[in-house]
Structure 1
Amino acid sequence: MTYETILLERLEGGVARITLNRPARVNALNVRTLKELNLALDEIERDAGIHAVILTGAGGSFSSGFDLKEQAENGPTGPEEWREALRYDFDTVTRFWHFPKPTLAAVPGACLAGGLELALCCDITIASENAFFGEPELKFGAGIVVMVLPWIVGPKVAKDIILTGEDRITAQRAHEIGLITRIVPADELQEAALRIARRVAVVDPDLVRDTKRAINVALEAQGLSSGLAAALDIDIAAEGRRSPDKVQFMSIVRQEGLRAALAWRERRFAEAEPL
C-alpha cells in the first residue's frame, strides 16, 4: 500500500525498514502516522520473509514526540476522548515491545517525548553521535503516555529526567544510563543498523521470537505490564484534569503557533537555576 507519513522498505537479508517521514515536523507522531505504523507492522508480521525491523526517522531526526500542533487544533476535549486517544498512542508505541519479530531503533538527531518512548520500546536502540534524548512533557503540563523509562534506567534516573523536563541528553550520556546500546558516527547509522538487523535475521526466527518473549516475560513478572497500564490511567486522568500550564501552552499554539508556544515554555525554565 501507499503511505503518506512513513516509508516502508524491504531490504536484503530479511530486514524491513520503517522510516518516520514528516521531516518538516521533526517526524512528530500524528494520528495518521500512528495508523500507518500499525498498518506497516501488520504487513511485516504477515511477511514470512522479514525477520527483523529497523525503525528510523527522515531529515536528520528520529521524532519530536506526539504531534502537539494537531492536538491543539483537533485534539480530545473530554475524558472519554482523552482515554481513546491516549490508549491508541499507548498501544501503537508498545506494539514494538510486544512485536513477534525483533525491532531495532536507529536514532539520528532529536528523540524526544513520545519519540523516546517509541525508541525505548524497540528491542535494540542505537544512535548517531549527534542524537539527543529527553522527556520534556511536564514542562508544558502534559503527562507521560508510555512510562517505560523507569524500567530501562531505573526510578531515580527516570525521576531526574522526567521531573526536570530534561530534553538534551547526549548520546554519550544516553549510553551511560542504558537508554541506547551503541553509538555510531552519523554517516554510519543506517549501515550499522542494517548490519545488526541482518545478523539477528540470520537466527531461526521462531527461536528469536521465543527468546524475545522470554526476556519480556522476565520484566512482566516484575510488574511491567500492570505498571504501564496504571501509569496510562494516571496520565489519562491528568490530561482530563487540564493542567493550567497545558491550557496556556495550547492556547499559544492555537493563537501564535507551536514555535511561539515552545519559546514561552523555554522562557519559564530559563528563569530557574541551570542544571
Structure 2
Amino acid sequence: MARKFIQLIIDKQVAHVILNRPEKCNALNFDMFRELDEVIREIKRDCSIHGVILSGSDGNFSSGLDVKSVINSPIQAVKLLFKWLPGNANLAQRVSIGWRRLPVPVIAVLDGVCFGGGMQIALGADFRIASRDAELSIMEAKWGLVPDMAGLVSLREVVSRDQALMLTMTAGVLSAQDALSKGLVTEVVDDPMARAVELAAVLAKTSPDANAAIKMSINNSWSSSIRSLLSRESISQIRLLVGKNRLIAAKRQTSEPDKAYKDRQARW
C-alpha cells in the first residue's frame, strides 16, 4: 500500500516504521494519523513480525501536531476525534495506544525534537531510546489543551503523579538526561538507532509468543487486581506450554541454539 508520510520497511522480521514529513520536522497532519493507524493494523495482522522500531526521518522524531493543518479542516478534526463510545479509542488515540496493543515489542528511537503529539506516540512504545541531544515535551497545555492521545496510559506507569502534573501543566522542554531521570525514556545513548537494532536482536532471541504473553500480562496486569493477574498468568502459560515455540526455545538453550522460531500465534 502506497503511503505518503509513513514508511514501513520490514527487515529480518522487524518492522521499521518511519514518520516521514521532514520538511515539517515530522509534524502530524491528518494523513499521518490515518497512515499510522493503518500500519499498526498491518503489523498486528502479520504474525511473522517479531518487533517494531519506530522513528522519525531527518534527525527528528516529531514536533507534534500540525495545528494549522487541523484547524484549516474542521472535517478532518472531527474524523480525528470522533468515537462511537467515550471509552473507545479515536484515531488520535489509536496511534499511541495502538503500539501497546501490538503483541510484539515496540522500540521508539527519539532523535531531535519529540513534542506534543510526538511524545504521545512515543509513550505508546514499550522502550524509548533517546539521543543525547534529544528534547522532549508534553506540550499540549501550551495551546490551552489537555493531552488527549492516550499517552497518559503509559505516563501514569513511568512517572509519579506530581511529576505527571508538572510535565503536563508546565509544557516544559526536557533534555534527554532530564527525561531519563524522570522515567520518560528508557536509555540515552550516542546512536539510538544502532541501540534499537541491537535491542531488537536481543529480544528476537526470546520466543515471539513468550514476548507477546509477557507484554500482554504486564500491560494488562500492571494496575489490575491480584486475582486478574494470577488468572492471566495461568492462561498465558498454558497457551505457551502447548505452543510450538516453547519447544523451540528449549532446543535453543541446548542442542540447536540457532533454530528459528515459528511465527507467533495469531491471537494474544
Q: Shorter chain as normaliser: what TM range?
A: 0.7 to 0.9
**Match runs of 1:57-96 below 5 Å:** 57-75=56-74, 83-84=81-82, 87-96=90-99
Residue aligning to 1:163? 169
Give identity over the alignment, percent. 32
Q: CA deviation at 1:43?
A: 2.5
In structure 2, how many angstroms separate the alpha carbons of the residues matched to 1:94 and 1:77? 20
Structure 2 residues without counterparts, runs of 5 or longer: 84-88, 226-268
The residue identity in structure 1 corresponding to 2:47 is A
Question: Aligned pair in 2 of structure 1 residues 220, 36: CA closer, same or farther (>3 Å)?
Answer: farther
| Structure (1 or 2) with the greater helix fraction | 1
Which moves more between the two structures, 69-78 or 151-160? Answer: 69-78
Change (3 A) 1:220 1:2: farther
Aligned partners of 1:104 and 1:124 also within 8 Å: yes
Q: How far did 1:67 drift?
A: 2.1
Shift of residue 38, structure 1, vs aligned partner: 2.0
**Aligned counterpart, 2:129:** 126
Distance 1:160 1:218 in 2: 27
- Matched with 2:3 is 3
* Conservation of the 8 A alpha-carbon contact between 2:80 and 2:92: no
Q: CA deviation digits over 1:213-238, x for unaligned, max 9?
A: 1110123417xxxxxxxxxxxxxxxx
Equivalences for residues 1-275 of structure 1 within 5 A: 1-12=1-12, 14-75=13-74, 83-84=81-82, 87-145=90-148, 146=150, 147-148=152-153, 149-166=155-172, 168-185=173-190, 188-221=191-224
Q: Residue 39 of structure 2 aligns to a residue in which SS?
A: helix
Distance 1:82 1:39, change over 3 A: closer
Structure 1: how far apart are the matches of 2:10 and 2:93? 26
* CA distance in 2: counterparts of 1:87 and 1:38, whole angstroms: 10
CA apart distance, 1:130: 0.8
Could you tell me the TM-score, scaled by structure 2's length?
Answer: 0.75
Structure 1 residues 100 and 184: CA distance shift in structure 2, 3 A: same
Match of 1:266 in 2: none
- Deviations 1:59-84, CA, capped at 9 Å, x for gaps: 11101122212112113599x76740
The number of equivalent residue pairs is: 217
CA distance in 1, matches of 2:44, 2:156: 29
Q: So what's the TM-score if we normalise by structure 1?
A: 0.74
What CA RMSD, in Å, does the superposition of the two structures yield over aligned residues? 2.0
Query: Following TM superposition, where does structure 1 have runs of at least 4 consecutive aligned residues deviating by more than 4 angstroms?
Result: 80-83
Q: Which amino acid in 1 is paired with 2:60?
A: S
- The separation in 1 between residues aligned to 2:6 and 2:91, in whole angstroms, is 18
Structure with bigger RCO (C-alpha 8 Å, 6+ apart): 1
